[in-house]
Amino acid sequence: MKQEQIAVIGAGVIGCAIAWALSREGRQVLVLDRAPPGMAGASFGNVGHIAAELVQPLPSRSLLLGFWRELYVLGGALDIPLRRIPALLPWARRFAAATALRETNTRHLAPLVAPAVDETARLLAEIGKPGLLRRNGHYEVWRGRKARKLCAAQATATARLGIPTEPAGAEWLRGLAASISAAAPPGDFAALKFTGTGHVTDPWQVVQALVDAAMLRGARIARAEVRSIEVHPDRVDVRTTGGVEHAGTVVIAAGAWAAPLLEGLGLRVPLEAARGYHVELAGADPVADAPILYADHHIVVTPMAGRLRASSYMDFVGLDAPPDSRKIDRLLQRLGRLGYDCSRAGAPWWGPRPVLPDYLPGIGRVPDTRVFYAIGHQHIGLTLAAVTAQLLADLVAQRTPRHDVRPFDLRRFGVPGRRVTV
């Protein structure tokens, strides 16, 4: 019997992990993207951290009240241009409302995030690339008069959430201080080591390995932009720049660009793009074989194959805004002050994190259709790729998903899905 085709829209880490999970189950998969896999979205340029510690969604009362301290103009990582405020207001209102639900939403998110290192290890072992993952934890570093106090407060907060940490060793701190004070006056340091996290040595290679593995099981990759999705009683038509693809099932995994595709199906989604930047330092010495979050500088530096990748910023500038060269300059300046040799910095990169206002992902099904979605993975899409792929494979197969996905249904934003059969 001829199998139905499953079209996965979006070849970022989420779409490709789903494509692998479906292909592994013997399904006939077609992945559609306007660019080569892993190249066009956040999955290319993220900083590779398997952030098993980020079990709490971002919206919190303290951030709501103190967000102005994080603004770019005051030295922080958050940029909200004045021109975007009217368009952002409804999203910001929902963000504010989500602060009151933080405990509940942590209960929903934590079971997906906490096992992320094991889940990523399982996924990479399945596709024959276990070496892409390093399970060395990561460090969070503070500098200055309040460093110790801030470090102790973070240790208490993480302990309360059951996240394993330990003080960074004195020797490691001495090495860090030496590398930093070569470029800046010495100061107090404090650092916390997170022992249950990890990183990948190249996020793009993770996507490529997923694609290769899915293709070995028969998946096809097609390069085309998806314009719309039409649901019929017996099939779903995916209209692309290259023609129409007929599918039995469709999975929308289009990252920060997913909203128009869902809106065409009656689901209006408050999806925003939070742009981040990275720069890479070829051949630079890592201070550790693990990511380091410089908390006061809002910078994460991760050792990757043959280079360091440093990332920062959360820009709500809109998807199509031109890049801001001041941000790249400031990132390089700060890295220089942290003791990194920026003389061989490569071309900068910027890309959009797909963020829903409550910072929970959108995982579910468009009502009354065979169209599923996996979007809004915010700052932790690489972290959640393995578990999301399992959930989607369960949903497509009509098995009970291994985690409760009802909190991730996009109808939580109060926009009822309408029947879309034509």
Ligand X SMILES: Cc1cc2nc3c(=O)[nH]c(=O)nc-3n(C[C@H](O)[C@H](O)[C@H](O)COP(=O)(O)OP(=O)(O)OC[C@H]3O[C@@H](n4cnc5c(N)ncnc54)[C@H](O)[C@@H]3O)c2cc1C
Binding site for ligand X (CB under 6 A): 9-15, 32-35, 40-43, 45-49, 51, 225-226, 253-257, 276, 278, 311, 351, 353-354, 377-383
Shortest gap between Cβ of 65 and ligand X (angstroms)? 26
User: Given the complex with ligand X, which of 51 and 190 has the nearer CB atom?
Assistant: 51
Shortest gap between Cβ of 332 and ligand X (angstroms)? 15
CA atoms of 358 and 142, how far apart (whole Å): 28
User: Given the complex with ligand X, which of 99 and 388 has the nearer CB atom?
Assistant: 388
User: Given the complex with ligand X, which of 167 and 208 has the nearer CB atom?
Assistant: 208
Beta bridge partners of 372: 251, 365
- What is the rounded radius of gyration, in angstroms, for the C-alpha atoms of the chain? 21
Q: How far is CA 171 from CA 176, 177, 178, 197, 206, in A?
A: 9, 10, 11, 21, 33
CA atoms of 306 and 300, how far apart (whole Å): 17
- CA dihedral for 70, 74, 79, 82, sign (positive or negative): positive
User: Given the complex with ligand X, which of 147 and 387 has the nearer CB atom?
Assistant: 387
User: Given the complex with ligand X, which of 58 and 147 has the nearer CB atom?
Assistant: 58
Shortest gap between Cβ of 359 and ligand X (angstroms)? 11
Shortest gap between Cβ of 366 and ligand X (angstroms)? 16
Shortest gap between Cβ of 346 and ligand X (angstroms)? 15
User: Given the complex with ligand X, which of 202 and 225 has the nearer CB atom?
Assistant: 225
Q: How far is CA 302 from CA 27, 200, 281, 285, 349, in A?
A: 36, 9, 10, 11, 15
Shortest gap between Cβ of 168 and ligand X (angstroms)? 20
Which distant-in-sequence residues (6+ apart) come within 8 Å of 178 by Cβ?
none
